[in-house]
């Protein structure tokens, strides 16, 4: 809930991004990103693949929003970027793991859809570009 709200609030709007950095939210955000924070799901149950996947997606989205929306005047963007250098670039390693996992998932979905289209007789099968995009987004395209 709260992470979803932060994700929404930081999208294309700088003041919440600035507040998040100023109030020390980077420590908690990167803890969630690294999978070190213990977060309960919507019904109070811990863990679960769906909860973990959403936490990962939301944390990456918030980090992206911070880097996109923060100005360079007060050094906030540098504080976010500096988190990736800490602990021998472990956060960069984690970001690459996430990227490769999602790239593999999207590629597999793309190949499945291409095989389905070929099996159904090519482009005249009634599958439009919007359906293909939605399928790729379900597989992790961001």
For 104-121, the pLDDT digits (tens) are 988 888 888 888 877 876
For all residues of the chain together, what is the average pLDDT?
85
Kindly state whether residues 35 and 78 are assigned to the same domain: yes
Kindly state whether residues 93 and 120 are assigned to the same domain: yes
pLDDT reported for residue 140: 67
Kindly state whether residues 67 and 34 are assigned to the same domain: yes
pLDDT reported for residue 33: 93
pLDDT reported for residue 73: 82
CB 72 within 8 A of CB 81: no
Q: Quick count: other Cβ atoms within 10 Å of Cβ 18?
A: 17
Residue 40 phi, psi dihedral angles, 5° rounding? -90, 150
Domain that holds residue 23: 1-83
Task: Give, in order, the Cα–Cα distances in Å from 135 to each of 4, 13, 103, 125.
Answer: 22, 29, 14, 16
Stated pTM of the model: 0.78
Kindly state whether residues 118 and 100 are assigned to the same domain: yes
Residue 96 neighbours by CB under 8 Å, 6+ apart: none
Kindly state whether residues 28 and 78 are assigned to the same domain: yes
Kindly state whether residues 95 and 37 are assigned to the same domain: no
| Count of structural domains, the chain | 2
Taking only the tens place, the pLDDT of each residue in 51-93 is 888 899 999 999 999 999 998 888 999 999 999 999 999 999 9
Kindly state whether residues 101 and 58 are assigned to the same domain: no
């Amino acid at each position: 809930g709260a992470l979803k709200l932060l994700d929404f609030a930081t999208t294309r709007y700088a003041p919440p991004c600035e507040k998040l950095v100023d109030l020390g939210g980077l420590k908690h955000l990167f803890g969630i990103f690294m999978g070190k924070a213990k977060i309960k799901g919507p019904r109070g149950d811990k863990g679960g693949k769906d909860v973990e996947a959403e936490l990962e997606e939301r944390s990456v989205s918030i980090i992206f929003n911070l880097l996109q929306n923060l100005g360079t005047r007060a050094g906030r963007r540098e504080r976010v970027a500096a988190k990736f250098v800490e602990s021998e670039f472990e956060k960069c390693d984690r970001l690459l793991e996430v990227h490769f996992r999602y790239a593999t998932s999207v590629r597999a979905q793309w190949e499945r859809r291409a095989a389905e289209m070929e099996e159904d007789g090519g482009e005249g099968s009634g599958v439009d570009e919007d359906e293909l995009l939605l399928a790729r987004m379900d597989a992790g395209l961001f």
